[in-house]
Amino acid sequence: MPSSDALATAAEMYRQGLIKQYASAPQKGGLRLSGLGKPALDIFARKFHPEWFTTDWQTERLTQLFHVGDTFEADMYVHLDRFGYEVEETQQVVSFGGVTGHTDFIIRTPAGERFLLELKTCAGHKFTQYTEDSKGVLKNIECIPKTYRTQLALYQQCLGIDSYWCFYNKDTSDIFFRPFIPSENAHLIRRAELIISEYARITEWDEVFNVFCAPPPEGEKYKNAMTGNFKVPQDIDKQLAPHIYEVIESKNNYGKMTSYVTGYRMPDGSVETLDIP
Dihedral angle of Cα 55, 27, 33, 170, to the nearest 10 degrees: -70
Q: Are strands 225-231 and 245-251 parallel, antiparallel or unpaired?
A: unpaired
- Residue pair 170/65 in contact (Cβ under 8 Å)? The answer is yes
Q: Are strands 86-90 and 105-108 parallel, antiparallel or unpaired?
A: antiparallel
Contacts of 182 by beta carbon, 8 Å cutoff, 6+ apart: 153, 156, 157
Which pTM was predicted? 0.87
Range 4-189 classified under CATH 3.40.50.620: no
201 backbone dihedrals φ, ψ, rounded to 5°: -85, -45
pLDDT (0 to 100) of residue 182: 85
pLDDT (0 to 100) of residue 257: 92
- Helix, strand, coil share (%) of the chain residues, nearest 5: 40, 25, 35
Q: Of 203, 217, 207, 218, give the one whose Cα is nearest residue 266.
A: 207
Strands of 162-169's sheet in order across: 86-90, 105-108, 114-122, 162-169, 175-179
Q: pLDDT truncated to tens, each residue of the chain (277 aa)?
A: 888 998 898 898 888 888 887 776 666 668 999 999 999 999 999 999 999 988 665 567 778 878 888 899 999 999 999 999 999 999 999 999 999 999 999 999 999 999 999 999 999 999 999 999 888 899 999 999 999 999 999 999 999 999 999 999 999 999 999 999 988 888 999 999 999 999 999 999 999 999 999 999 999 999 989 999 999 998 899 899 999 999 999 999 999 999 899 999 887 778 888 765 4
pLDDT (0 to 100) of residue 120: 95
- Report d(CA 10, CA 164) in Å as an integer: 21
Contacts of 87 by beta carbon, 8 Å cutoff, 6+ apart: 77, 80, 81, 105, 106, 107
Coil, strand or helix at 42: helix
In the chain, CATH 3.40.1350.10 covers 4-189
- Report d(CA 129, CA 140) in Å as an integer: 9
- Residue pair 14/74 in contact (Cβ under 8 Å)? The answer is yes
Q: Of 216, 255, 209, 208, give the one whose Cα is nearest residue 234.
A: 216
